[in-house]
Structures are given as C-alpha cells and as structure tokens.
Amino acid sequence: MIGKTLAHYEILEKLGSGGMGDVYKARDTKLGREVALKVLPEEFSKDDERRKRFMREAQAIAALKHPNIVTIHSVEEADGVSFITMEYVEGGTLTARIPGGGVTLDEFFAYAIPLADAISSAHDQGISHRDLKPANVMFDRDGRLKVLDFGLAKLIAQSVNLDTAPTIVQGSDTAVGQIMGTAAYMSPEQAEGKEIDGRSDIFSLGIVLYEMATGERPFKGDTQISTISSILKDTPKHISEIKREIPRHVGRIVNRCLEKNPDKRFQSAKDVRNDLEGLKKEIDSGELSVEMESGPSIIGAPPSGAAAASETSTPGLRVVRRSCIRSRSMRLPQLKQITYSREPWSSIILPLPAAR
C-alpha cells in the first residue's frame, strides 16, 4: 500500500495494524493535509447490505465533535476497498506515557479528566467505545489527549460474518466477532459475550485509570483466557497498597469503576468525570489534609504557595479529608515538626501538639 494512491489519498507510511484494520498515514491531495487512513477488513466489500449498514452508522460516529475525540473526516470506498479517513495525531500514545511506577498525581488528573469527559460526550450521543485502552489514546503536538476509534468495534462486529470470522485475530490482542475488544481491558459482561452498554466503557476506563496510577494492570494473566478469567473472578489490590502517595480517594473512584456488577458501577462517565474534578479541586484548594500512612492525621495543610512537604521522623504520607482531624479519639503520631519549603522561601516550621 505504501506509495500507492487510494482515491485522492497518497499512502505515506504504515502506522499500525489490528483487528479493526490497518492504519496508514496519508496525504489528502485535494485539501493538502495529512490524515490517518484506516483500511477496513475485506469482509466489508463482500456483503452489500453489511457495507451499507456500516456506512450509515459510521456517519453517526463521524458526527462526534469533542476536543478530546479524534475527528472522523469521511467514510469512503475506492477500488473495492472500504476505508475511513480521520484526523492525523502526530504525538505518541498514552501507553508510552505510563512509566513503570505510574504517572504523577498531576499527570493522572490531567489525563483522567479529559478522558472521562470524552467518553461522557460520546455516551450522550448514544455511542460506546467498546475497545478503550491506552493504545487508543493519543496526544497531539500541543499535548492534548485524543481518543481514537469510538464505536468502530461495534460497527465492525456487526459487519463481519460471525460464522467465518476468527474469535481472535492472529498477531493481535483484539477479539473479533461476538467478543469484540482487547482482553486486558474488557468488562466482565463484554468478556462473557453479553449485551453491553456504556457502563462497559466505565469498567474499561477503570482499568486504564488503575494502570495510569500504578503502572500495573489490575487484572493479569499469561494468556488471553487467563486474563479474562482474572477479570471475571479477581479483586485487584487497592491502588494505595501499590503506590502510597496516591490518595485513597483516587482508589475509591477507580474501585467503583471496576465493580463487576454494572449496576454497582458509576452509571455514567459524566459522574466519573465529576468525581475526578471534585477530588482534584479539593486537593488543589487544600481542603484535603495530610495523613500518615499508618492512619493518624496531621493537623493543618501547607501554607499558600507551598509546593512540598516533608516530615521529620515518619515516612508514608497520604491525603485525607480535613474533617478527619476533628475526631477527639484520634491520636497524633510522634512527630516534632512538619517542614514545608519552596524556593526562594526558607523553611516554614509548623509545630505539632504533643500526642495524648
């Protein structure tokens, strides 16, 4: 395909390949712009009714307009090939931005909130993603998060002949047919081939958030079957057990996304976004105070402008609501002082009351 022309698109290079087709970087010779061109599986050209249905429903997906969703420009056919042209995003994927120990708290909110907002916007228009994973989240030149492939999993599943389609595409971790998606990021109901709705995306979002926070996937297995078994049966470790500096309230939000019963999850991605925004606001405003990992609270929050806190004798700080310190039965740790510092300031020493 490279070097060839499909309609008025000059194929420049191959960007990737998966169960939903091959993706190429191409140049639109009419408009003089670069686009991403997804060549769809050949099954689309074999059945006229399926092809028409795909084209019709793909137009609805192309109508999605959100700053964090990759724009679909057109759905076309040329030389017996069905393909989709979409916005070309030059930056890397979310996968590449997640280090071994997970992202920082600031990065977590910077990625999680627009991701949840994008999913919410699509759900409001009746479109689920069905294959949400870090590899389907990219960043443009300006660092703006962009979600790819909304709704394509469902359209391709409907358009492929399920009697002849393989359950798993060789060389890919994307399933095609009655189970459509990527094994490590499937919801339980999706893995079982049940009818799904937007709450399945919320479970997948929870997996992505967990991985961003910790650098680990919550459900693991040596094979796709064992990974799916883990999704169906296992309860993952709480995020704060893996990474102490992540507030327990982040884990609370992620855990609710990962409820195996859809009725117990967040019922909308908008609720996930609102909870994440609310938690970030509480942390930024100082409404949340600092607690020792062992449980007791430290009175007070950093002074205005303070960027870092270090305690003098006990490691392992975590964030809790300021209201927690009002309990008379709570014991304070054996600390002499907490030091807040930020250049060009000198250290500010806050004495702590003696433990009772």
Residue 19 is predicted with a pLDDT of: 58
Boundaries of every domain in the chain:
5-87, 94-285, 288-351
What is d(CA 274, CA 266) in angstroms, rounded to the nearest whole number? 11
Residue 116 is predicted with a pLDDT of: 98
Give me the residues paired with residue 321 across strands.
288
Phi first, then psi, for residue 159 (nearest 5°) are: -90, -20
What is d(CA 231, CA 153) in angstroms, rounded to the nearest whole number? 20
Quick one: 5-87 is in which CATH superfamily? Answer: Phosphorylase Kinase; domain 1 (3.30.200.20)
Residue 302 is predicted with a pLDDT of: 47
**Fold match between 5-87 and 94-285?**
no
Q: Is 131 in the active site?
A: yes
Residue 101 is predicted with a pLDDT of: 94
The three-point CA angle 162-14-163 to 5° equals 5
What is d(CA 207, CA 212) in angstroms, rounded to the nearest whole number? 9
Q: Can you give the length of the chain in residues?
A: 356
Q: Are 64 and 117 in contact (CB under 8 A)?
A: no
Q: Which fold does the domain 94-285 belong to in CATH?
A: Transferase(Phosphotransferase); domain 1 (1.10.510)
What are the structure tokens assigned to 93, written together? Answer: 């994927």
Phi first, then psi, for residue 32 (nearest 5°) are: 65, 40
Residue 295 is predicted with a pLDDT of: 44
* Element containing residue 129 per DSSP (H, E): none
Q: Are 33 and 89 in contact (CB under 8 A)?
A: no
Residue 164 is predicted with a pLDDT of: 31
DSSP sequence for 152-217: HHHHHHHHS-TTTS-SB-TT-SEE-SSS-EEGGG--HHHHTT----HHHHHHHHHHHHHHHHHSS-
The three-point CA angle 35-39-42 to 5° equals 170
Residue 343 is predicted with a pLDDT of: 38
What string of pLDDT tens digits covers the 356 residues of the chain? 888 899 999 999 999 876 567 899 999 999 999 999 988 777 666 767 767 766 766 777 788 889 999 998 988 888 888 888 999 998 899 999 999 999 999 999 999 999 999 999 999 988 888 889 999 999 999 999 999 887 665 554 544 433 333 223 333 333 433 455 688 999 999 999 888 899 999 999 999 999 999 999 999 999 999 999 999 999 999 999 999 889 999 999 999 999 999 999 999 999 999 999 999 999 998 887 534 344 443 334 444 444 444 333 334 444 444 444 333 333 334 433 444 333 333 333 444 445 44
Among candidate residues 28, 106, 124, 131, the one labeled active-site is 131
Residue 154 is predicted with a pLDDT of: 59
Phi first, then psi, for residue 164 (nearest 5°) are: -110, -15
Residue whose structure tokens are 């855990």: 255
Residue 64 is predicted with a pLDDT of: 85
Residue 169 is predicted with a pLDDT of: 31
* Element containing residue 18 per DSSP (H, E): strand 9-18
Selection from 310, 299, 254 nearest residue 279 by Cα: 254
- Predicted TM-score (pTM) of the model is 0.74
What is d(CA 137, CA 69) in angstroms, rounded to the nearest whole number? 9
Phi first, then psi, for residue 37 (nearest 5°) are: -120, 115
